[in-house]
Amino acid sequence: MQNPITITIDGKEVQVEDGTLLISAIREAVVDLPSLCYYKHIDPPLGTCRVCTVEVNGRHVASCTTLARNGMNVVVHDDPTLHDTRKAMVEMLFAEGNHFCPACEKSGDCDLQGMGYQLGVNVSRFPHLFVDRLIDYNPKRMVIEHNRCIRCRRCVDEVMSSDGKRVFSFANRGNDTEVAIDYEQEATLTETQAIHAMHICPTGAILVRGKSLARPFGDRKYDIGELADSQTVPIVFPEVRALKNGEKKVIATVSLAGCFGCHMSMLDLDLGILDLVELVEFNKSPLTDIKHFTKKVDVGIIEGGCCNSENVAVLREFRRKCDILVSIGECAIWGGLPAMRNTVPLKECLEEAYLHSFTSENEAAIIPNHEDIPKILDKVYACNEVVDIDYFIPGCPPSANHIWKVVKNILFDKEYSVLLSEFKYD
């Protein structure tokens, strides 16, 4: 070191070179620190996502745009609210975009997802915005999926055509800010350059036609790695409500606007389900085919969001009858795949489905409606927009282990942790 200086990281003094980027200094000191937009080849760093926020001398700063100076007092983990802050940034990005992970080419290799896993994002505290965004198929080689862009700016600063011109730029301002691609410049990119762009994009926003990103389940960036089966996800659960002791515990389940996949996943407990039946009693549930609540229930498990008036009525009834409600799966948590319609006006959806579709007969076609059938809501609502939800178990579907651990925790106050490999959005 030419100009060593001393900084304090979480109370520990370390020596670094004067003017090192704080994020590098922290990582050199083997302290874990998440980051998203930071890409070590881009100088000066972008500082857009704010996921790398730490506290320096009492103020929050993005560690990727701050230079280490002698005597700095840096807090990374000692203050747990900082973890929550970084998590909030990631949750905002999820709420702001339209991230349908199960349908995304980058799923499993996506850094936004990876951040969500690492930080334990099981639900976004912010309601999803569902802004209609385009998919741009115009470029010769690429497809730009604006629903997934987190506006990190990597592509803008990093992707240049051979004569040094920018291929990407930001356009507009405020929440309309988006990346724009130059079709002319894009067409001059070599295949290697195009693939490079796809790879530096932390999300699935930049795709190259004919070049698949997809790797099989189990082989993807966030499936593998020695950590997946050892590292636990820092999920913050609410305090367990004390359940009355004595009798058998009662569970109810329901599938609202879901595909029954989460219920299937519950059945994946295999023999475990036999143990479960010993311990608990199922009330209203498709598993028992009991149609109506016959008693007060301890735990209600909800699959699917609310897409029609009946879903809302059922969910409200669950809230009234159950002490604890658990949203399982992406659909219940924030809408999931059915919420793909949320960026399109309902009228258009209905007309497309019932009036203008291939199979609708011209004269006879109507939008179904009758006093006996539920009314379709203007959009698919997350369950926690309609009632309070106590627990969230992400996944599409969630892993059986994860569900089982949570249920055991609620019923028997059993401590547990969730492994990275059990925590997925797809």
Query: Which stretches of the chain bind ligand SF4, using CB under 6 A?
Result: 99-101, 104, 106-107, 110, 112-113, 148-155, 179, 201-206
| Minimum distance from residue 302 beta carbon to another protein (Å) | 13
CA distance 187 to 282: 60
Q: For residue 400, how far is the Cα from the chain centroid?
A: 19
From candidates 22, 52, 143, 205, binder to ligand FES by CB under 6 A: 52
Alpha-carbon distance values, 143 to 112, 134, 138, 155 (Å): 19, 11, 7, 14
Phi, psi of 55, rounded to the nearest 5 degrees:
-110, 125
Residue pair 326/391 in contact (Cβ under 8 Å)? The answer is: yes
Contact letters (x/-) for another protein, 198-237, by CB under 8 A?
----------------------------------------
Q: Is there binding between residue 50 and ligand FES (CB under 6 A)?
A: yes
Residue 159, φ and ψ in degrees, nearest 5 = -95, 110
346-365 residues in contact with another protein (CB under 8 A) are 346-347, 350-351
State which residue, 48 or 384, has the beta carbon closest to ligand FES: 48
48 scored as a contact of ligand FES (CB under 6 A): yes
Q: Which does 419 bind (CB under 5 to 8 A by kind): another protein, ligand SF4, ligand FES, none?
A: none
Of 46-54, 284-292, 312-320, 378-386, which part binds ligand FES (CB under 6 A)?
46-54
* Terminal-to-terminal C-alpha distance of the chain: 46
Tokens of 12: 């520990």
93 vs 266 by CB, closer to ligand FES: 93
Rounded least distance, CB 17 to ligand FES, Å: 19
151 alpha carbon, distance to own chain's centre = 16
- The reply on whether position 122 binds ligand FES by CB under 6 A is no
CB-wise, 103 or 365, nearer to ligand SF4? 103
The alpha carbon of residue 338 and the mean position of all alpha carbons in its chain are separated, in whole angstroms, by 15
Least distance between another protein and beta carbon 126 (Å) = 5
Residue reference for tokens 């939008």: 367
Rounded distance between C-alpha atoms, residue 97 and residue 77, angstroms: 28
Please tell me the distance from the alpha carbon of residue 108 to that of residue 228, in angstroms, as a whole number: 12
Judged by CB under 6 A, the chain residues 235 through 254 that form the site for ligand FES are none
Q: Which of 7, 21, 64, 189 binds ligand FES (CB under 6 A)?
A: 64
Alpha carbons within 13 angstroms on the beta-carbon side of residue 42 total 21
Where on the chain is the footprint of ligand FES (CB under 6 A)? Answer: 35-38, 47-52, 62, 64
